[in-house]
């Protein structure tokens, strides 16, 4: 169950990232990388 919740959170974060990319709001690649790092950290915590 905990794993499922984590996957859901990860999916939400990824969707936000994709949306940012599609809308062209990710001004710097750094902002994308920071989201990736957060996702990786979340995955590790789970």
Rounded distance between C-alpha atoms, residue 46 and residue 33, angstroms: 20
- Distance, in Å, from the CA atom of 35 to the CA atom of 25, rounded to the nearest integer, reads 13
Q: What tens digit of pLDDT does each residue of 1-46 get?
A: 567 787 888 888 888 888 877 777 556 666 767 778 877 777 776 5
What integer pLDDT is reported at residue 46 of this predicted model? 57
pLDDT at 26: 52
pLDDT at residue 30, as a whole number? 61
Q: Looking at residue 5, what is its pLDDT? A: 80
pLDDT value of residue 2: 64
């Amino acid at each position: 169950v905990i794993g499922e919740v984590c996957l859901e959170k990860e999916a939400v974060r990824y969707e936000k990232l994709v949306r940012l990319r599609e809308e062209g709001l990710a001004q710097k690649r750094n902002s994308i990388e920071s989201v990736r790092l957060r996702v990786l950290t979340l995955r590790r915590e789970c």
